[in-house]
Amino acid sequence: MNSDKSTSSYHSYLLRLWRSDTRSNWRASLQSARDGTVKHFQDAEDAWDYLRRKMHEGEADKEIAPG
């Protein structure tokens, strides 16, 4: 793999999912492999939404940038 990845084209996280009992919602956290920052989420869907946003960061800039 290429080691000079831009921050908008490569993301790596450790995903943790848990719930306190079988009737609770799944909670989630994502830990950045790059700098160790941890983000906590009230439910798994919020974590997926965050990952989707991270995947699309910078795409609008690419669309309007001259070829």
| Average confidence score pLDDT of the chain | 84
Q: Which two tokens stand for residue 29?
A: 């956290």
Q: Can you tell me whether residue 25 is helix, strand or coil?
A: coil
Q: Report the alpha-carbon distance of residue 46 to residue 42 in Å, rounded.
A: 7
pTM: 0.72
Q: Rounded to an integer, what distance in angstroms lies between the CA atom of residue 65 and that of residue 32?
A: 29
Residues 49/30, Cβ–Cβ less than 8 Å: no
Encode pLDDT of 26-51 as tens digits. 999 999 999 999 999 999 999 999 99
